[in-house]
């Protein structure tokens, strides 16, 4: 994922409201979100090049989401795929905080990343650019290709729009997809400096990115209500456009011991 806005225990109906865009090269092979044949309780998209995932949830209520940390000055030879970190958490039974604390022993093998890992009881955040796991309190958060809640224009806009939807009791899947479809570029004087050209910085400044070879591949809305009912909806787009190519939705109740 490359843009995430989420609210944890900020709504009378939903314990978690999670809206995310995945940005990637258009030619990178990807499988749409589905339950995996080899892990039947795991719902996630799949990176067909490296085998990991950027976001997923299990029927037991474990969820994870990953973003890259953008710093072109950091280079590593043959680093492992960051997507394996999100996938590994979904496949384990460890608590979010224990899992995140244990990552630091191998974190420097990877290119920069941010990882959110959670259950119905706990959400944690870790970045190998900070090397410190944090348990999140109830609140509203934003994450892109820097640290959690970094004040980038796209992060601020997404958070402000999510806050507005909650305050005005307008939370719905469509409203959250509209939030994720915001393709307004940031003004030049508000662009962050992450070591790429200003032209590219501007191209990737919207919540929803459209360019020739790279952009938003899919949007995902995850809702978990107070009864433990999960609604997971993914929209995939034609490259470089907001035209929906396909949509998948899954709904289930969290079960600590689901049938395989």
At 187-232, the pLDDT tens digits run 999 999 999 999 999 999 999 999 999 999 999 999 999 999 999 9
8 Å CB contact between 207 and 3 = yes
Q: What is the pTM of this model?
A: 0.97
- Could you tell me the residue ranges of all domains in the chain? 3-245
**What is the predicted pLDDT for the residue at 57?**
99
Residue 259: is its pLDDT beyond 80?
Answer: no
Top-level CATH class of 3-245?
alpha beta
Q: What's the pLDDT tens digit per position in 64-77?
A: 999 999 999 999 99
Is pLDDT above 70 for 22? yes
């Amino acid at each position: 994922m490359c843009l995430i806005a989420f609210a944890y225990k900020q709504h009378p109906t939903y314990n978690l409201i999670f809206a995310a865009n995945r940005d990637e090269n258009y030619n990178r092979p990807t499988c749409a979100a589905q339950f995996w044949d080899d892990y039947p309780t795991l719902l996630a998209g799949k990176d067909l090049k490296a085998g990991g995932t950027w976001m997923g949830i299990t029927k037991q209520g474990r969820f994870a989401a990953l973003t890259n940390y953008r710093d072109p000055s950091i280079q590593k030879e043959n680093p492992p795929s960051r997507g394996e970190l999100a996938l590994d958490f979904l496949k384990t039974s460890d608590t979010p905080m224990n899992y995140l604390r244990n990552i630091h022993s191998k974190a420097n093998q990877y290119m920069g990343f941010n990882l959110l890992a959670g259950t119905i009881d706990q959400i944690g955040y870790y970045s190998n650019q900070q090397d410190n796991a944090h348990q999140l309190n109830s609140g509203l958060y934003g994450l892109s290709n820097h640290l959690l809640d970094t004040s980038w224009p796209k992060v601020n806009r997404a958070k402000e729009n999510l806050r507005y939807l909650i305050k005005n009791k307008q939370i719905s899947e469509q409203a959250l997809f509209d939030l994720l479809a915001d393709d307004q570029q940031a003004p030049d004087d508000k662009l962050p400096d992450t070591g790429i050209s200003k032209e590219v910085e501007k191209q990737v400044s919207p919540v929803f990115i459209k360019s020739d070879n790279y952009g938003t591949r899919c949007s995902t809305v995850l809702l978990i209500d107070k009864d433990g009912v999960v609604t997971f909806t993914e929209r995939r787009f034609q490259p470089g456009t907001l035209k929906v190519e396909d949509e998948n939705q899954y709904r289930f109740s969290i079960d600590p011991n689901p049938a395989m």
